[in-house]
Amino acid sequence: MGFKALTGFRDFYPEKMAVRRALELAWHQASRRAGFQEFDGPVLESLELFTAKSGEEIERQLYAFSDKGDRRVALRPEMTPTLARMVAARANSLPKPIKWYCVPQFFRYERPQRGRGREFFQWNVDVIGASEAAADAEVMAVALDALRILGLGEQDVVLRVSDRRFLRRMLRSIDVEEVQESEVLGWIDKLERDATAAKRLEEILGQKRAREILAWCERMPLDQAPELAEVLGACRDYGIEAFVEPDFKIVRGLAYYTGPVWEIFDRAGELRAVAGGGRYDGLIAEFGGPDLPALGFGMGDVVLRELLQRKGLEPEPAARVEVFVVPVSPEMLKPAREVLLRLRERGVSADAPYGSPKLSKALKAADLSGARRAVLVGPDEWAEGAVRVKDLASGDERKVQLDDLD
């Protein structure tokens, strides 16, 4: 065998590409109709940009190398540092709130497995400069809107939401020390997936406090979470309450989030999170910008694709062309090409064989092209300035004057 794609990297043959485009189209639609503007940044950034906030150990998961000028660089594994950098540079001149989105390709050097490769596309939606709960609810609504465009409803997906401030406060109320916090949060995050997580919590905190936490996971103590109640109220205003469930077990990455945190899962709970986001006030400032509140989410293509496949909702590739032009005999090759170009000029996507294969073969090609109609260019009709238009689904044919062809 010759060359293959690198481990964790994907080839997009046309059928796969069609699915990717359909996802991207849904993402663009949902973003734009909610007033988000598209932006993008460099695929390659200085290594330091990514290690500054997340720590050096993150380098293990980066495609990092030295370029020819001996600069340490890395392929982007996420958008937030770039976004923060870009916003910081123009923060004073941009009207607030800043509502931006992008559909970048990311690279992470890690072991490929279900729902994760070394390269993927991820839709990112962010709001910078808004502290209202309405902003949190709106980005959730935008994420769900894209899923709805793709055919996923409240019976298919669920958005689980918690709040970092609330999590901290609850842990403090049972005297979990600051140094234990990240470890404890880590195990809470794992409760759903890891059978040993509950045991580990007991070992760390003792039976009494561990049970308290498990009770909160069973039934969210909403009466003690005013900030979450506010977000849930905003979710009702944005019409997404059917999708949203408060859940104590939603934690997410420890380095970033400061307020509401949420993830979207398939209802069956078989896959990784389809999307995840939250509020990260303070992060823009940490990247050297002004101290603006910020929030957003990411939705990757890999898990989403998997989910759509399981639900039988994987988008079908569109027909290659609308019309297939067929010369009926070799002397009709030139007239057929005239018809072809005429159609294309009018904005109709059309294709035709390069030569003049047997009619049966040409019709087979027409069939494979996905065209709804075939235009048969034959000597008899051509002499009258006409062609035959065949409906490929029904087989019906009718004679059409060239000038009436659309």
Note the residues at the interface with RNA (CB under 7 A).
1, 7-8, 50, 54, 58, 61-62, 77-78, 80, 108, 110-114, 116, 186, 190, 193-194, 252-256, 272, 276, 328-329, 357-361, 363-364, 366-368, 376, 378-381, 388, 390, 392-395, 397
For every residue of 100-144, DSSP letters joined together read EEE--EEE--S--BTTB-SEEEEEEEEEES--SHHHHHHHHHHHH
Which of residues 26 and 64 has its CB atom nearest to RNA in the complex? 64
Residues forming beta bridges with residue 276, ordered by sequence position: 263, 298
Nearest approach, Cβ of residue 53 and RNA (Å): 8
Which of residues 166 and 215 has its CB atom nearest to RNA in the complex? 166
Nearest approach, Cβ of residue 223 and RNA (Å): 28
Which of residues 33 and 334 has its CB atom nearest to RNA in the complex? 334
Measured CA to CA, the distance from residue 262 to residue 276 in angstroms comes to 6
Which of residues 155 and 360 has its CB atom nearest to RNA in the complex? 360
Residue 332, CA distances (Å) to 190, 324, 356, 369 in order: 69, 15, 8, 21
Nearest approach, Cβ of residue 345 and RNA (Å): 24
Which of residues 222 and 254 has its CB atom nearest to RNA in the complex? 254
Nearest approach, Cβ of residue 253 and RNA (Å): 2
Nearest approach, Cβ of residue 400 and RNA (Å): 12
What length does the chain have?
406
Other Cβ atoms closer than 10 A to 385: 9
Which of residues 4 and 68 has its CB atom nearest to RNA in the complex? 4
Residues forming beta bridges with residue 294, ordered by sequence position: 128
Which of residues 385 and 395 has its CB atom nearest to RNA in the complex? 395
Residues forming beta bridges with residue 65, ordered by sequence position: 73
Measured CA to CA, the distance from residue 123 to residue 121 in angstroms comes to 7
Nearest approach, Cβ of residue 60 and RNA (Å): 8
Q: Strand 37-38 to strand 98-102: parallel, antiparallel, or no bridges (unpaired)?
A: parallel
> Cβ contacts of residue 373 below 8 Å, gap of 6+?
322, 323, 324, 389, 390, 391, 392
Written as one letter, the residue type at 95 is P
* 261 backbone dihedrals φ, ψ, rounded to 5°: -130, 145
Nearest approach, Cβ of residue 375 and RNA (Å): 10
Residue 294, CA distances (Å) to 30, 95, 226, 368 in order: 20, 14, 20, 49
